[in-house]
Amino acid sequence: MKPLTARQQILKEFLDRVWSSGEIGQCDRFLADSYTIRHDPGDPWDGQILDLAKFKERVRSSRAPFPDQRFTPHAWFENDDGVAVTWFWSATHLGDLPGFPASGKTIEMSGATIYYFDSTNRISGHWQVTDRLGVYRQLQQTK
């Protein structure tokens, strides 16, 4: 396996610390002041430009039902504009979602995300596809 590039290493640490470990204060270290969600169907923030405070709120609310979530990167691709990563996600459904009370069941998903960087190598946005329908089906089975 090839060693990670500088941007891939930044992204790996961002996914681990912020999204998997919930170290929300680390957003200041990894993110540009303005973060654009270019494409993320089903995400309430799809199409929005977020400042750091809004991005942190996004992480808090996204992690609330799944506080032990883990993102595991699978494959990396990079060009001048950004880094694409395919990933697996796993979490225990420990908090309520609309229509789905906490079940204690493990939920899994996969996806692919292109992350964009600014000139200082801070993450400035993403374009993402995920299997949200698969998550919904798994949640239905917990009822």
What is the Cα–Cα distance from 89 to 12, expressed in whole angstroms?
14
Number of domains in the chain: 1
Domain membership of residue 1 (yes or no) is: no
What is the Cα–Cα distance from 20 to 67, expressed in whole angstroms?
8
Domain with 82, as residue range(s), is 6-141
Asked if residue 20 lies in contact with residue 12, where contact means CB atoms within 8 angstroms, the answer is no
- For residue 143, what pLDDT is reported? 78
pTM for this model (two decimals): 0.95
Domain membership of residue 64 (yes or no) is: yes
Residue ranges for the chain with pLDDT beneath 50: none
Determine how many CB atoms are found less than 10 A away from the CB of residue 58: 19
CATH of the domain at 101: 3.10.450.50
Nearest 5°: the CA angle 107, 53, 78 is 60
Asked if residue 114 lies in contact with residue 127, where contact means CB atoms within 8 angstroms, the answer is yes
pLDDT in tens, 81-97: 899 999 999 999 999 99
Domain membership of residue 129 (yes or no) is: yes
pLDDT in tens, 100-110: 999 999 999 99
β-pair type (106-117, 70-78): unpaired
Determine how many CB atoms are found less than 10 A away from the CB of residue 130: 18
Encoded tokens for 106: 């493990």
